[in-house]
Structure 1
Amino acid sequence: MTTDIKDAVHAVGAAAVMRLFPAKPRLLALGEPTHGEDSLLDLRNDLFRQLVEEQGYRTIAIETDCLRGLLVEDHITSGTGTLDEVVEHGFSHGWGASGANRELVRWMRAHNEGRPASEHIHFAGFDGPLEISGAESPRQALTALHAYLAARVDEDLLPCGAEVLDALIGADGRWTDPAVMHDPARSVGRTVGARELRLLADELVGLLDDQAPHLIAVDSRNGLERARLYGRAALGLLHYHHGMAEASPTRLARLVAVRDRMMAQNLLAIAARGPAFVYAHHAHLQRAKSSMRMGGAPLEWWSAGARASAELGEEYAFVAMALGTIRHQGVGVPPPDSVEGRLYALPDDRCLVDARRLATLLADAPPVPRASPWFGYAPLDPEHLEVTDGLVFVKDVVRRG
């Protein structure tokens, strides 16, 4: 049986990945099925280096706070801050503790040092400024957007002064209260002040677009793009807090959808600047509808990747990771009739698989879904093979010592 699928299997490498597509994708997404494994992030780093050196990619975008990610971008492009400071404060979700993320930042800074800006590689977070348990105050994004405009356009064009925003935002703790996730009534997301902030944020974003020719002339395109990021983050956060105040059965589904909407908007903005390598959980990148259970309820939503794919067509590519074992998390050898089991029987420690070719080869003996004993690992859904461009299979995930 394993000899039948060898026609779809190749060594992992940037050149082999690119042969899966008719042309270079503008967004090349690699989805991981679990978080927190540095050995998978090492693979990510190796592939990104090859994409930079062999294929002309210049940006990596990962599932971390888009605003914090600006600290990483400033460090790798201009040396702002120390490596320790950047890995501590430039990543959300606690991922600054990852040795592989630290190595990514170190390598990117070393690559850029001494090169002209036109040859720099770039870093972007594409997640919203939020965690699964809550969201940040809109203060940073809104005040940065207002300050950018106030320094560059006539004062009478602004919808309000900075002091108005400050008063409407109030204490940041009102927005970040962790109790809100379990008690929507504690949220300030549907107060009169929050509604006024949404209107003002919308007006500021509109003014940014209206004045774009002037802003590029007096500043730079990069400055305008950063201001647009502040605008997306501000509006996204205000929509997210609005959803957190909703006391209905659809509340959690609304929140995960708003989050991926923010992600998709950021991905499309990144794609507009040139080819980028994207890395996140595959639930945020796959073309098929995503699903999970939260609070005991099943949730379904369209991922950021599905939305980007709908906009970009063949310029969006999705490669999923499939894993054999994660023994330190209780995930043992996969069933032999699962996709992972078929690949586990091969001698390769890791390999690249043409997913659509594999689906054709397995059509006469369709693989069964794999169940995981650990909630932190999401096995590959075999029904997704036909809407997946490739698989990177890692036979045994070993905790890096």
Structure 2
Amino acid sequence: MGLPAARPRLLALGEPTHGEETLLEVRNDVFRGLVEEEGYRTIAIESDCLRGLVVDDWIASGAGSLDEVMERGFSHPDLGLGVSAANRELVRWMRRFNEGRPAPDRLRFAGFDGPLEITHAAGPRQALTALHAYLAAWVDADLLPCGADELDVLLGADGRWTEPAAMTDPSRSTGRSAEAGRLRLLADDLSTLLDAQSPHLIAVTSRDAWDRARLYGRTAIGLLRYHHAMADTSPGRMARLCALRDAMMADNLLALADRGPVLVHAHNSHLQREKSSMRMWQGPVEWWSAGALVSARLGEDYAVLATALGTVRSRGVGIPAPDTVEGRLYALGQDRCLVDASRLAAFLGDPPPAARVSPWFGYAPLDPAHLGAHDGIVFVRDVSRGFEQDVSRGRTVSGEAWER
């Protein structure tokens, strides 16, 4: 892989750790340049797809409070997405960009993660009832597979779905109850009806309204699959959960790509073309990431830039060893740069350099064996520094620079 010569439909920028403002500021700089110079009009981040609708509505209308949007529009509170100054600036800038522009030229915002947290998964109520309400308003009642009252009874109390103990104890999950099984069938029937009635629904509502209903359907089905897997007692349980999450991400990204070119930001592990892996309490697990799934479908219309770091001093990550990929990049002395991954891999040769080992579990160094599976590497020398250059317009390191 090399730096994309033409504008891919999905251009992804990964980060090797979460919760570092510097990396989000880099993302903002890169994405602003690509919006202004390359015409990208959707920005998608690793956050709850349903919460992201709050942000998308605000950057379109400006109605309401930015404080409320930041509180309600982002998930993963453990990562501080909603309180991040860089995320706040991104949302504010997107709103300013949209002011006075015609609808086709406005920016759109999306979360592309499922409504999933480290400790629990959301219940399907919001997505399933919103899908049902949309269909009930616009199609004949005789076509609906159930009424709203039946859904309410089957869904029951929300707490039964969000029980934190179910993440590690399958017996605490409601995902294989009779009610959950019935809801899976109804979610499938409702989504099928949505597709079957698409000419009528798009005509009487709008393409955006229909797209949003499809998001509700995908999310309801995805959540019910996820809860079903949470009740699994087999050794493959955690690998299946990780795979289902990334499958939900991939489905959301492919749907976004259908309406135009998309900029994507998430952890490197969700965007890479190779298999992802993680060591959990029950041992190592592997699964195909959202990036791998999307790349298989889109081919050259998917491109990914992985971010690598020099130091994260606040986390005890010091200067990388000189025989690692990060060490070679650090020796260049640039605060940040964009490197052609295939040229870098060719220069470093075979066997590849040593793999860096991080003293902090929250930072995942590059896998030197898979450098060529990225289109580019964004290198940030020290996350504690401010950065003035815009990577999207910055310099690409040439082969000759490695020899100096």
Specify if TM > 0.5.
Answer: yes
Please tell me whether the aligned partners of residues 37 and 399 of structure 1 are also in contact (alpha carbons under 8 angstroms). Answer: no
Please tell me whether the aligned partners of residues 328 and 399 of structure 1 are also in contact (alpha carbons under 8 angstroms). Answer: no
Aligned: 1:325 with 2:311:
yes
Aligned: 1:89 with 2:75:
no
TM-score (norm 1): 0.94
Aligned: 1:123 with 2:105:
no
SS of match in other structure, 1:300: strand
Please tell me whether the aligned partners of residues 352 and 369 of structure 2 are also in contact (alpha carbons under 8 angstroms). Answer: no
Paired position in structure 2 for 1:360: 346
Partner AA of 1:101 in structure 2: N
Paired position in structure 2 for 1:14: none
What is the alpha-carbon distance in structure 2 between the residues aligned to residue 219 and residue 366 of structure 1? 55
Change (3 A) 1:364 1:182: closer
Return the match for 1:294 from 246, 265, 280.
Answer: 280
Please tell me whether the aligned partners of residues 71 and 82 of structure 2 are also in contact (alpha carbons under 8 angstroms). Answer: yes
CA offsets, 1:97-151, max 9 Å, x none? 1110011111111111221111110100000001122100100000000000000
What is the alpha-carbon distance in structure 2 between the residues aligned to residue 285 and residue 168 of structure 1? 36
CA offsets, 1:365-398, max 9 Å, x none? 6311000000000000001111111000000111
> Where do 1:2-81 residues align within 5 Å?
20-81=3-64
Aligned-pair distance for 1:81? 2.6
Please tell me whether the aligned partners of residues 3 and 341 of structure 2 are also in contact (alpha carbons under 8 angstroms). Answer: no
Partner AA of 1:129 in structure 2: P
Unaligned runs of at least 5 residues, structure 1: 1-18
What is the alpha-carbon distance in structure 2 between the residues aligned to residue 251 and residue 263 of structure 1? 19
CA offsets, 1:145-189, max 9 Å, x none? 000000010110000000000000000000001111121111110
Please tell me whether the aligned partners of residues 45 and 265 of structure 2 are also in contact (alpha carbons under 8 angstroms). Answer: yes
SS of match in other structure, 1:134: coil
The percentage of aligned residue pairs carrying the same residue is 70
What is the alpha-carbon distance in structure 2 between the residues aligned to residue 260 and residue 118 of structure 1? 29
What is the alpha-carbon distance in structure 1 between the residues aligned to residue 351 and residue 291 of structure 2? 29
Return the match for 1:372 from 339, 345, 358.
Answer: 358
What is the alpha-carbon distance in structure 2 between the residues aligned to residue 54 and residue 80 of structure 1? 28
What is the alpha-carbon distance in structure 2 between the residues aligned to residue 164 and residue 364 of structure 1? 61
Aligned-pair distance for 1:399? 7.5
What is the alpha-carbon distance in structure 2 between the residues aligned to residue 165 and residue 114 of structure 1? 42
What is the alpha-carbon distance in structure 2 between the residues aligned to residue 125 and residue 323 of structure 1? 25
Return the match for 1:220 from 184, 206, 225.
Answer: 206
Paired position in structure 2 for 1:308: 294
TM-score (norm 2): 0.93
Partner AA of 1:62 in structure 2: I
What is the alpha-carbon distance in structure 2 between the residues aligned to residue 189 and residue 365 of structure 1? 46
CA offsets, 1:174-210, max 9 Å, x none? 0001111121111110000000000000000000000
Paired position in structure 2 for 1:204: 190
Change (3 A) 1:399 1:186: farther
Change (3 A) 1:399 1:295: farther
What is the alpha-carbon distance in structure 2 between the residues aligned to residue 190 and residue 172 of structure 1? 16
CA offsets, 1:262-281, max 9 Å, x none? 00000000111111100000
Partner AA of 1:313 in structure 2: G
Partner AA of 2:303 in structure 1: A
What is the alpha-carbon distance in structure 2 between the residues aligned to residue 385 and residue 372 of structure 1? 18
Aligned-pair distance for 1:214? 0.2
Paired position in structure 1 for 2:390: none
Paired position in structure 1 for 2:240: 254
Partner AA of 1:260 in structure 2: D
Please tell me whether the aligned partners of residues 348 and 395 of structure 1 are also in contact (alpha carbons under 8 angstroms). Answer: yes
Q: How many residues align?
A: 383
What is the alpha-carbon distance in structure 1 between the residues aligned to residue 168 and residue 352 of structure 2? 41
Partner AA of 1:368 in structure 2: A
What is the alpha-carbon distance in structure 1 between the residues aligned to residue 130 and residue 303 of structure 2? 33
Aligned-pair distance for 1:22? 3.0
Aligned-pair distance for 1:78? 1.4
What is the alpha-carbon distance in structure 1 between the residues aligned to residue 288 and residue 200 of structure 2? 36
What is the alpha-carbon distance in structure 2 between the residues aligned to residue 331 and residue 112 of structure 1? 40
Change (3 A) 1:44 1:163: same
What is the alpha-carbon distance in structure 1 between the residues aligned to residue 252 and residue 303 of structure 2? 16
Q: Which runs of 4+ in 1 moved over 3 A?
A: none
What is the alpha-carbon distance in structure 2 between the residues aligned to residue 20 and residue 178 of structure 1? 42
